[in-house]
Structure 1
């Protein structure tokens, strides 16, 4: 994995990230647009972690911390680069960020129907908590 480069996204990366998510991520979010990602980067410039190989974006994770809770979103790896440890490396980078910020537990948003993602998260030490449900209200 020495050829894998991790870095925080910059505003110039937004369009590339949005195209990447259309190809590599499951599901969509109300915030999957230029304004949404711009607000994320303005609010927390280190939150969106990119994995690159040979200057090509191969993976992402959003590692958000609000001072109370560590939240992981948008863990995605380009399909042809899966099963090479990229998701694990991204989660390790997110966890290092959380630990440095004083975080104590990571909550991850994982689509219910995405069985492949369930296996990825489980393989990296995460477990499902069935007693919680997500409640949402678009603004």
Structure 2
């Protein structure tokens, strides 16, 4: 993990994070805009965890804590930095955060058709729960 730096994002980095997700993440969300990312950081300043190598953004994970659940989203690693321990370092930072806050279990949102992501989550010790389905209703 040579030169890997793990840190939280600042609100002024929303545009940079969105550009990174466009290149490195699978899928999009209704909140994929500067306002959505800035609101996340303002509400939960420790939630958006970034990995940098030599000053370049190479990974991200959202480790959201609402006082009850530990929710993981947007685990993404730049294609040129995959299989180098970046995702492992990000998840370790997220899990340490949750433990510090009193969290008991992490729940990850993983796209059904993203086999690579499913393998990565499984390798990190997460298990799929087939008896749950996500229900959504857009408010805008």
Give the TM-score normalised by the residue count of structure 1.
Answer: 0.99
Q: CA deviation at 1:2?
A: 4.3
CA distance in 1, matches of 2:2, 2:24: 22
Equivalent residue for 2:102? 102
* Gaps in structure 2 of 5+ consecutive residues: none
2:91 is the alignment partner of 1:72: no
> The residue matched to 2:117 in structure 1 has which SS?
helix
CA distance in 1, matches of 2:28, 2:39: 17
Question: What are the equivalent positions in structure 2 for 1:89-128 lying under 5 Å apart?
Answer: 89-128=89-128
CA distance in 1, matches of 2:36, 2:20: 15
Which deviations, in whole Å up to 9, do the C-alpha atoms of 1:75-112 show, x marking residues without a partner?
00001110111011100000000000000000000000
CA distance in 2, matches of 1:16, 1:108: 23
Equivalent residue for 1:31? 31
> The residue matched to 2:72 in structure 1 has which SS?
strand
Equivalent residue for 2:53? 53
Q: CA deviation at 1:12?
A: 1.8
> The residue matched to 1:135 in structure 2 has which SS?
coil
Q: CA deviation at 1:40?
A: 0.2
Equivalent residue for 1:82? 82
Equivalent residue for 1:40? 40
> The residue matched to 1:137 in structure 2 has which SS?
coil
2:101 is the alignment partner of 1:131: no
| Count of residues paired in the alignment | 139
CA distance in 1, matches of 2:127, 2:54: 33
